[in-house]
Amino acid sequence: TQLLEQSPQFLSIQEGENLTVYCNSSSVFSSLQWYRQEPGEGPVLLVTVVTGGEVKKLKRLTFQFGDARKDSSLHITAAQPGDTGLYLCAGARRGSTLGRLYFGRGTQLTVWP
């Protein structure tokens, strides 16, 4: 069973459009992270959110952690071809002291020029 459900699985849009990717769970997480992975490479951390209701902005990317710490979203404004990649959310469960992260299955984003 997947602890973190991501949607949509695939997203194909034109340059300049906005998009939102969702990451949902029935479990509570102490922190939630978003990674981006490009073909042939390992995932790279984009952001970490740790407080319920927290919003973080990274240029055109906005990340939000749900009030109940069970879900998160990634919003991209005016997408560009350089945003193309696999976006993964990952959570650390409350009470875990072993550094273990649980990953969603990812959202494959393609932005066409």
Which residues contact other proteins by CB under 8 A?
Answer: 2, 6, 9, 30-31, 33, 40-45, 48, 50, 88, 90, 92, 96-101, 103-106
Nearer to other proteins, 43 or 76 (CB): 43
Q: What is the C-alpha separation between 23 and 35, in angstroms, rounded?
A: 12
| Residue 76 Cβ vs other proteins, minimum distance, rounded to whole Å | 20
Minimum CB distance to other proteins smaller for 88 or for 109: 88
Name the pairing type of β-strands 10-14 and 107-112.
parallel
Tell me the three state secondary structure of residue 5: strand
Q: At its nearest, how many Å lie between other proteins and the CB of residue 38?
A: 11
Please give the Cα distance from 8 to 27 (Å, whole number): 20
Residue number, 18 or 96, with CB nearest to other proteins: 96
Q: Please report how close the Cβ of residue 15 comes to other proteins at its closest, in angstroms.
A: 26
Least Å distance, CB 17 to other proteins, is 24
Judge residue 72's burial from the number of C-beta atoms within 10 Å of its C-beta, 0-12 exposed, 13-18 middle, 19 or more buried: buried
Cβ atoms of residues 74 and 18 within 8 Å? no
